[in-house]
Structures are given as C-alpha cells and as structure tokens.
Amino acid sequence: MCTGQKKKVVLGNGKNACVSCVIELLTITKGKDPSRSTDNDKIVEAERHKKIGNDLFKQKRPVDAFHRFNKAIRLVIFLHDPQALLKDWNLLYTSLCNNMAACQLEFNNYEYAKQLLDKVLATDKENIKALMRRCRASAELKMYDRTLADAKSVLAVEPNNAVGKKYEEIAVEALRLQNVNYKNMVKKMFI
C-alpha cells in the first residue's frame, strides 16, 4: 500500500457473520532498524518488557506476562557482546528466567519451570525465590530429594521461611512413604 491508498478488508466468509472495514494508510514512519540497536538499547528495551511483564503478572495475567518476559530474554540472549555487560546481563537474565518460571508454575508446567530455575540457580545458588519455586516444581514432579535439598537451602538462609518449612515437611513425609513402599516391595520379592 502507498500513502493515501484505501483498502477494503473483510473478515469471515463474506456472507454470514463477517466484519468489513476500509483501511486508509495515512503515513509511513520509518522505525529504528533492530540490527543497528546497541547492546545498551537492547538492555533498556528488555528492562521495559520485564517491568510490563511484572505488572501483568501482578494483575493475574501470567500468559501476557510470560510473552513480555520472553521478548525481554530474547533481547538479552542476542546481545552482540554480553561479556561487556556481564554483570548486568547475568542479573537481567536470571531475573527473567525466574519470572518466566513463575509463569510456568501458574500453567502447571513444572518441568519447564524447573529447567528455568536450574539456570537461575546455576548463577545464583542462594536465590531464595528460585529455590522456593524449584521446591514447588520438584514436589509436583515427585522429585522429593531435590525438594528437600532446596527447602533446606531456603531454611539455611531464612530459618522461619513458611514456604521452606512447608516443602521440607512435604518432602520428608513423601520420602518416608517411598522408603516404606520400597521395603514392602523388597519383602514381597523374597517371600
């Protein structure tokens, strides 16, 4: 289309239940060429998407939040020279992975959430939010050894953390039941 040109648009089959409108192209504005963006521009844009994603998550809109976090992390991953901004890059990358994992927990996608949280904890072993979230993901995946280890890590930093205590209790009880079931199974094998 050229400036000033009009185009009729019809949505639907054109007979029943359709929407039609006329679109006129008023102006063409040249945008910024993404290939010419500097790494600092990308970091600023990623931070903007992260902030919007955080606001959307607070509004109980995890799907929209996830899409914003995903846009932000793609900007961060494809920096030209992440080594130049290593500290900022790590902080932003781990924060975005942590936020994306929170969304995945809302979707009950525990395996993907755990993978994202593993990335966070590979960089920051004492990230309490990531540890608590991985406790939940691991418990849902019935990985009670991992749940217990993460709960103990949370409680080592914050001894009165309610989430850490909750998942420690869940893991201890589940491991106890697993051991009882295992012993019963072994007994049946040799009787």
What does each of the 191 residues of the chain score in pLDDT, given as a tens digit?
A: 778 888 887 777 656 657 778 888 888 776 565 556 777 788 889 999 999 999 999 999 999 999 999 999 998 888 777 666 666 678 889 999 999 999 999 999 999 999 999 999 998 898 999 999 999 999 999 999 999 999 999 999 999 999 999 999 999 999 999 888 888 888 788 77
Same-domain status, 26 and 40: no
In a domain, residue 56? The reply is: yes
User: Domain range spanning residue 8?
Assistant: 1-30
Q: Are residues 39 and 69 in the same domain?
A: yes
Scan for tokens 């051991």, then name that residue: 179
Count the domains in the chain: 2
Half-sphere exposure of 92 (CA within 13 A, CB side): 27
Task: Tell me the residue type at 74.
Answer: R
- pTM value > 0.75: no
In a domain, 178, yes or no: no
In a domain, residue 162? The reply is no
**Residue 159: its pLDDT value, please?**
95
Same domain, 42 and 57: yes
Question: 40 and 25, same structural domain?
Answer: no
C-alpha pair distances (Å), 166 with each of 22, 28, 93:
59, 57, 28
